[in-house]
Amino acid sequence: LVREIRRNERHDSFLNAVTHELKTPIASIRLYLETLQRRELNEEKRQEFYGIMINDSERLLATVEQVLKAGEVGQRGPDDISIRVDIKTMVEECAATVALRNHLPPEALTLSDETGNMSTIVLGNPEDLRAAVMNVLDNAVKYSPKDPRIHVHICVEHDAWVVIRVSDNGIGISDVHLKRIFKRFYRAPSMAVLRSKGTGLGLFLVRTIARQHGGDATASSEGEGRGATITLQLPRILQL
C-alpha cells in the first residue's frame, strides 16, 4: 500500500511538472507574439523577443522529446542497438553543445581523456546514447550554482568498459536519495531540487538506456551542497 501511494505521488508530481514545463514556455511565446502584434517595436527589441521565443520553443521541444523518449526506450530490441558509435566523440560533441547552449565560459565545463590510443567504440543506438549523455550533462548544469564547475572524465576500465564520469559542484545528493534518483518520475524532495525545472525522467532515461546497451549508470555524492558525480559505463568493442 505504501509503495502504491508513493507511486501515485510520483505520478502526480510528474504530471504537475510536465504541465508546468509545457504551459510556461507556451504562455511566454504567446505573450511575446501578442506584444509583437500590438506594438511597434524597433529592430533590436524585435530580435530580442525572437531570441526569447526560440529559447522557449527549444525548452518546449526538449520536454516533449524527453516524455516521448521515456516511452520509446522500453520498447527497444536487439536489432535497434546494433550501430558502432564512438562514444568519446559523441561525449565531446554533447559537451560542446551544452556549453554553447548555456553560454558557459571555457573554465565552466572541462574534459579529460585517459583513453590513450584505445578504441572507445560501443555498439548501440546513437539517438538513445546521445540522449543519455545530454541528460547527464544538462543535469550537471541545472543543479549547479551560478558559477558551475563541471568536469567530464572519459577512460577505459579493465579493457572492457568505456566509462564517462560527469562531476559538478552543485547541490549534491543525500545518501537516502542516491538509489532513488534513477526511478521514473522521482525527484529528491529538497527545496533546491524543487526550485529547478524537471520532469523526473532524465536519470531514469540515462540508466534505462545504459542497461539496454549492456552497461549501467550510477551516482555518488558527498552530501547536499557538495556536488555529485554521475557515472555512465558502456561495454567497449574492439574496432575492426
Question: pTM of the entire structure?
Answer: 0.72
- Between CA 57 and CA 50 the distance in angstroms is 10
CA atoms within 13 A on the CB side of 59: 23
Taking a C-beta distance cutoff of 8 angstroms, is the pair 202, 184 a contact?
no
Q: What share of the chain is helix, strand, coil (3-state, %, to 5)?
A: 55, 15, 30
Taking a C-beta distance cutoff of 8 angstroms, is the pair 158, 115 a contact?
no
Taking a C-beta distance cutoff of 8 angstroms, is the pair 207, 213 a contact?
no
pLDDT in tens, the chain (240 residues): 556 655 655 565 556 666 667 788 888 899 999 999 998 899 999 999 998 899 888 878 877 777 777 667 766 665 667 789 999 999 999 999 999 888 899 999 999 999 988 999 999 999 889 989 999 999 999 888 788 999 999 999 999 999 999 999 998 888 888 878 888 766 665 544 445 565 667 888 899 899 989 999 999 998 888 899 999 999 998 755
Give the chain's end-to-end CA distance (angstroms, integer).
53
Taking a C-beta distance cutoff of 8 angstroms, is the pair 83, 90 a contact?
no
Taking a C-beta distance cutoff of 8 angstroms, is the pair 164, 133 a contact?
yes
